[in-house]
Chain A
């Protein structure tokens, strides 16, 4: 048996390693923990916690499976014999040309052909997580800031800030205008940064938005472009939910705005895309950066060495996404199914006396529970959240985790479960609200 000599001083790790900017120590992870400890299962654990905090798209898998079954020889290219060797050796950071062409084409189709994309401007990354971090490394120095409209995806706190040491300055949006960004809010955030001697390098928007599931209006996009041009800063448009807009024509991409201006001043604009949401393939780690700036394309491509997409996966998706019959049908059907899900949850919540923000995209809705709060504070919001987690057994995301400045809002995901499960969840909410009403009456 070894005798342990006196304990050595704890070995130093980096500041990045010891910081908590990865965000996982936040109280919201209690929700995940509760789910992990008691996960709902229709058959085996019908009273477990239903996961409504995960923005996944599971409504259209059958279409993917159908495609694969029909074209398995084509799709199997990645592990098929004839091209296995070439594919396994392919580590060029440009990415497979066929894949880039297929992605560019898919992005065009998602935008109803209203924008064109050049395959040579498509840079591959292992997921949108990597794409967002990479762009931040390229656009900003440590200590600089990006302006991000609130509420925003909680993962941005890690993706944009952790290893880059870049700050996020929130652009406050509120319900008075359906949480749309205003020039005044942008200006205020910019001034706030200036007052603290922080250099703003860009604005990052998510369109369609996470967490409130609505597309950004054309006029707002134009105002944002005007703002970034005036300030001579960058604009990153994270459009990973573009294929999840319920109605194609309601989504306006920043690419369309630029095209309508003949690409004037477009070298400051960069788009992030991914197949994790629209195609429901988060495990495959398929992210892209599309930049109108040659330097950014070149640099991002070099940097993507740290985070390339598996050539096996590129090959599979190149086949799938270049089949236009498949993609047109998929895009159309997926939108329709998401819309039906959305209507189902909105109706269900409404009949329980709960209103949501009017949404038209995404895999979630933005639920207003402010009437349930004793006081309009973050603590009261967390109290309600705790109740919903432990009594109603639903893991939903409190607005404060998204930096929402108005307490009482919650993001509820609806596309990561079967319709049956959604009905069960809605029934639980219904019963909960009824009980509360009864209690309040007494």
Chain B
């Protein structure tokens, strides 16, 4: 049904017309390629494997088993239907008390019980997407800015800026020190903003990091807390990957740092946490976003705003039951960490075998792959060319570092937790073929291979022509699925 009219369309708002939704960026070519030719082990074994989606699919069996044993958690089951009316009718933006209690408890458990959370500070939002936007609406005016360590989750550009009108100022982190956040870099970003007359209202970071998969150490967190406090600006910690930590060092939440005796002088009103169950529990469809603030006024304001993105009470009810099952939670968290560790090790070892290094990481659903040796030149154009080759020839949808605002070309985020073991093997074999040098019985090891590539000016086993195909024509048909950039 087309509704064309001879007259001009009534004009839409500026924000409807601008590009801040981010979907016209070239990075969506990867999604398009996947959508056009998605991998399926039987039907499309040569299709594109989705490695750009940070989903946690490793522990569904545990959740499904729990559901089978606990039919009461569903208000549609015979056991649960008695609650149907009350649940369906409940629209209080405070949320079901049992839900808030269960979330607070879960947040404690995922932080090893090292810190407590107050259920009355748990505020709902439409997924972490909604939570991040809400916290910005509470803390900053249109035209203000937030500092964000880079590389960072690319959809922050939409979530934090689109409707709020707030700017993002990256704090550049470098490979030479494993992308750690330095005080120097933070100060520089802040001072540059001051010089440009931009009002910085806060700093937002993701810990564990997306896309790096690393966690911040206590000292870094303390110095960030000191810095933000000193300048009387907010500190927002997006901790949605908390339970994806699978290795040492142990995760340190900003909540723990606040509790520390040394920081008891600091102004807690400046500290806020964003949480979600999309990654830790693998439930992105359920839209469970949480704003947790140590500032009463922000809790109140965010709660009022939650009217625009409340969590379905059906889902609240379900989660309240599941997350208050302590035995289930303890087992789930342990098992999830174990499986993530195993998958991470398997995948990164597989990459290492062919000479591809990843940033040493202890968390997340992805790894930060270093393909700098494969770049023709150390430029972003080369990175994009390489990326297009990986999508179109190697048939893997990975995410180029530039989409995360990485300042050094050649890094790629690769997700590994959204597939089964067989698919991981197929992905690794494709990568192996891709980096295989034309050999004449050369049995060199990975290190030698790497040197060989550099020496031969990166001659690889596919035609050079592919490098030159640096621009794909954008597809004219709309993307069938929404970009799932996380």
Contacts and interface: CB of A to CB of B under 8 A. Distances in A.
A137 interface: yes
Contact of A89 (B12, B139, B282, B478): B282
B44 interface: no
A177 interface: no
A266 B67 contact: no
Interface in B245-296: 264-265, 267, 269-270, 278, 282-287, 295
Interface in B115-141: 126-127, 129-130, 133, 137-141
A93 B159 CA distance: 14
A9 B63 CA distance: 47
Nearest to A118: B1
Interface stretch (A56-64, A343-351, A364-372, A422-430): A56-64
Interface residues of A, number: 93
B77 A89 contact: no
A129 B55 contact: no
Given A137-B13, A139-B12, A308-B127, A11 B5 contact: no
Interface residues of B, number: 88
Contact of A81 (B14, B68, B141, B284): B68
Nearest to B316: A283
B76 A72 contact: yes
Contacts, number: 270
A308 B12 contact: no
A282 B234 contact: no
Interface stretch (A211-219, A294-302, A328-336): A294-302
Given A16-B141, A283-B90, A284-B314, A91 B76 contact: no
Nearest to B233: A11
Contacts of A267: 3-5, 9-10
Contacts of A91: 127, 278, 284-285, 287, 482, 484
A75 B84 CA distance: 12
A21 B269 CA distance: 23
Interface in B286-343: 286-287, 295, 297-298, 301, 304-305, 307-315, 318
Contacts of B67: 79, 81, 84
Contact of A311 (B269, B270, B286): B286
Interface string A149-168: 00000000011000100000
Given A280-B89, A310-B285, A84 B63 contact: yes
Given A9-B232, A283-B91, A309-B287, A163 B315 contact: no
B7 interface: yes
B231 to A, nearest CB: 11
6 contacts: A24-B304, A61-B85, A90-B284, A91-B278, A92-B484, A292-B3
Given A11-B269, A69-B78, A138-B12, 19 more contacts: A22-B304, A64-B88, A76-B76, A81-B68, A88-B284, A126-B312, A139-B16, A267-B3, A282-B90, A283-B89, A283-B91, A283-B312, A299-B21, A302-B21, A305-B159, A306-B126, A306-B159, A310-B285, A312-B315
Interface of B: 1-5, 7-10, 12-16, 21, 23, 55, 57, 60, 63-64, 67-68, 73-78, 81, 84-85, 87-91, 126-127, 129-130, 133, 137-142, 144, 158-159, 162-163, 201, 232, 234, 264-265, 267, 269-270, 278, 282-287, 295, 297-298, 301, 304-305, 307-315, 318, 478, 481-482, 484
